[in-house]
């Protein structure tokens, strides 16, 4: 299976400068290529990867700053641009700005990258133009390298290898029939249907206060000044620290869930509402000005510091699930927090508080999140089984319920109570 390995690089000052220039050139090629595509489109024409790649070769003869960087990285940028435009449309693909897009470039031919282990801690890889780059080998590569991406995150440079590890997906999970429902919340990050939970505070109160202060400091600096750059660096450092904790938590949670369960059910998140920006509202009194619309609270600080990383957990478990044979599905979040898991009655009033669920119909009392997680699992179990990617279609018969009478419409409650399971279909 394809997997990733990321290591921190230890570049010499010369390599550091060159890497920065390669990243800059790739960004510039991306933006120029996108601009060109848009110009063509405006005129009713079209330009694709092959024409752009040919023009890039010509441009390299003219510009020294293009000639000094590895051609493969520039070509790869055009390929990425081509794919982005095909997927999202030329008008939706974004420019890469120097501020918001830290340098990153890929060497597509992994087979040609020589990798040597120097000692227990260090290894080196030979990259075109950059030469031998040293990196801290914190875990074995464990496979053949398909490509390598060099990127900067704050002060440090990293190298990520795409590796084919030669492991094949398991036919069946180690615990057949096991399943867990996951309720994602704010008080506890992850609550499981078996009553256990995974929780971590990613940013302590003190750190949130500190982040606000750093943000204020940043706002007081003038654009383009050295102080502004330093202030932005401090904000980013703190955000990075918090992000690492979140990544670590997501990886550990994903590991424990994928190892333990054959079926993991999440509720589908309305990520669009959560991450989308707020529509600007023009101020009718002043032309060109905008009313306060809460956009600031949705961006920046909130996203980087207060985010719980629910989506990341889901991505992590999907990746981990390939190795354990776990099936990950999402179900509609509708009514999962208002439905009693014992008698299946839906009542908004059953949710007594953030923490307590107390069924108005049968009196069942439970932690509100655990009740929701159980409903999520029930809904997930009711979903028809889909063949896993990598498993040959038809290799496993989908389970169908045959020979069971459909319950009469008014026996919905009785059925749930008798079997102890919530149909919730």
Within 189-321, strands assigned E span 190-192, 197-198, 263-267
Rounded distance between C-alpha atoms, residue 162 and residue 258, angstroms: 22
364 binds Zn ion per the rule CB under 5 A: yes
The phi, psi pair for 355, rounded to 5°, reads -100, -25
Both tokens assigned to 252 = 């550990």
359 binds Zn ion per the rule CB under 5 A: yes
CB 115 within 8 A of CB 141: yes
Rounded to whole angstroms, what are the CA distances from 52 to 49, 83, 103, 105, 370?
A: 5, 13, 21, 18, 55
In this structure, the number of other CB atoms found within 10 A of the CB of residue 317 comes to: 24
328 binds Zn ion per the rule CB under 5 A: no
Complex with Zn ion: residue 215 or 365, whichever CB lies closer: 365
The residue within the footprint of Zn ion, chosen from 1, 208, 236, 362 (CB under 5 A), is 362
**Minimal CA–CA distance to 332: which of 231, 225, 425, 199?**
425
Tell me the window of 55-63, 96-104, 341-349, 381-389 that interacts with Zn ion (CB under 5 A): 341-349
Rounded distance between C-alpha atoms, residue 400 and residue 397, angstroms: 9
Rounded distance between C-alpha atoms, residue 49 and residue 53, angstroms: 6
Tell me the window of 20-28, 104-112, 288-296, 364-372 that interacts with Zn ion (CB under 5 A): 364-372
Catalytic one among 35, 164, 183, 248? 183
Stretch 177-236 residues interacting with Zn ion (CB under 5 A):
none
267 is catalytic: yes
340 binds Zn ion per the rule CB under 5 A: yes
The residue within the footprint of Zn ion, chosen from 125, 150, 343, 377 (CB under 5 A), is 343
In this structure, the number of other CB atoms found within 10 A of the CB of residue 256 comes to: 16
In this structure, the number of other CB atoms found within 10 A of the CB of residue 149 comes to: 18
256 binds Zn ion per the rule CB under 5 A: no
Tell me the window of 36-44, 60-68, 276-284, 352-360 that interacts with Zn ion (CB under 5 A): 352-360
CB of 338 to Zn ion, least distance (A): 11
360 binds Zn ion per the rule CB under 5 A: no
Rounded distance between C-alpha atoms, residue 125 and residue 151, angstroms: 15
35 is catalytic: no
Which strands, in side-by-side order, build the sheet including 197-198? 197-198, 190-192, 179-184, 263-267, 327-331
Tell me the window of 39-47, 156-164, 357-365, 402-410 that interacts with Zn ion (CB under 5 A): 357-365
Both tokens assigned to 393 = 């279609």
369 is catalytic: yes
1 binds Zn ion per the rule CB under 5 A: no
Stretch 105-144 residues interacting with Zn ion (CB under 5 A):
none
Tell me the window of 301-309, 360-368, 398-406, 409-417 that interacts with Zn ion (CB under 5 A): 360-368
Catalytic one among 262, 267, 307, 314? 267
Complex with Zn ion: residue 343 or 377, whichever CB lies closer: 343
Q: How many residues bind Zn ion (CB under 5 A)?
A: 7
Rounded distance between C-alpha atoms, residue 372 and residue 338, angstroms: 8
Both tokens assigned to 373 = 């997680």
Complex with Zn ion: residue 326 or 338, whichever CB lies closer: 338
313 binds Zn ion per the rule CB under 5 A: no
Catalytic residue numbers read 183, 267, 369
Interface residues with Zn ion (CB under 5 A) are 340, 342-343, 359, 361-362, 364
């Amino acid at each position: 299976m394809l997997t990733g390995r990321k290591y921190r690089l230890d570049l010499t000052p010369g390599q550091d400068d060159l890497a920065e220039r390669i990243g800059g050139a790739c960004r510039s090629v991306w933006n120029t290529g996108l601009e060109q595509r848009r110009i063509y489109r405006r005129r009713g024409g079209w330009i694709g990867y092959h024409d752009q790649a040919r023009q890039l070769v010509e441009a390299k003869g003219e510009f020294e700053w293009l000639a000094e960087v590895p051609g493969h990285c520039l070509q790869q940028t055009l390929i990425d641009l081509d794919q982005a435009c095909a997927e999202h449309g030329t008008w939706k693909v974004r420019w890469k700005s120097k501020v918001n897009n830290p340098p990153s470039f890929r060497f597509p031919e992994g087979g040609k990258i020589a990798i040597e282990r120097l000692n227990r801690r260090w290894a080196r890889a030979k990259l075109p133009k950059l030469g031998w780059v040293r990196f801290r080998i914190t875990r074995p590569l464990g496979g053949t390298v398909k490509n390598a991406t060099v990127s900067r995150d704050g002060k440090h440079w990293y190298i990520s290898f795409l590796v084919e590890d030669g492991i094949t997906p398991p036919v069946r999970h180690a615990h057949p029939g096991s399943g867990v429902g996951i309720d994602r919340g704010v008080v506890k990050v992850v609550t499981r249907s078996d009553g256990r939970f995974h929780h971590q505070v990613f940013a302590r109160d003190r750190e949130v206060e500190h982040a606000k202060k750093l943000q204020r400091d940043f706002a007081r600096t003038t654009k383009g000044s050295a102080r502004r750059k330093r202030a932005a660096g401090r904000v980013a450092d703190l955000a990075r620290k918090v992000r690492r904790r979140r990544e670590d938590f997501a990886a550990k949670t994903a590991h424990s869930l994928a190892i333990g369960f054959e079926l993991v059910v999440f509720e589908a998140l309305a990520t669009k509402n959560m991450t989308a920006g707020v529509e600007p509202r023009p101020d009718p009194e002043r032309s060109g000005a905008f009313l306060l619309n809460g956009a600031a609270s949705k961006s920046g600080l909130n996203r980087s510091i207060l985010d719980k990383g629910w989506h990341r957990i889901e991505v992590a478990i999907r990746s981990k699930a390939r190795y354990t044979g776990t099936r990950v599905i999402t179900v509609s979040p509708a009514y999962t927090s208002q439905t009693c898991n014992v008698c299946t009655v839906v009542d908004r009033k059953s949710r007594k508080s953030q923490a307590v669920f107390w069924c108005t119909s049968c009196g069942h009392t439970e932690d509100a999140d655990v009740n929701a997680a159980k409903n999520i699992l029930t809904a997930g179990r009711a979903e028809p089984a889909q063949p896993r990617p990598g498993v040959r279609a038809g290799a496993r018969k989908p389970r169908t319920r045959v020979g069971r009478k459909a319950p009469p419409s008014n026996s919905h409650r009785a059925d749930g109570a008798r079997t102890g399971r919530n149909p919730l279909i």
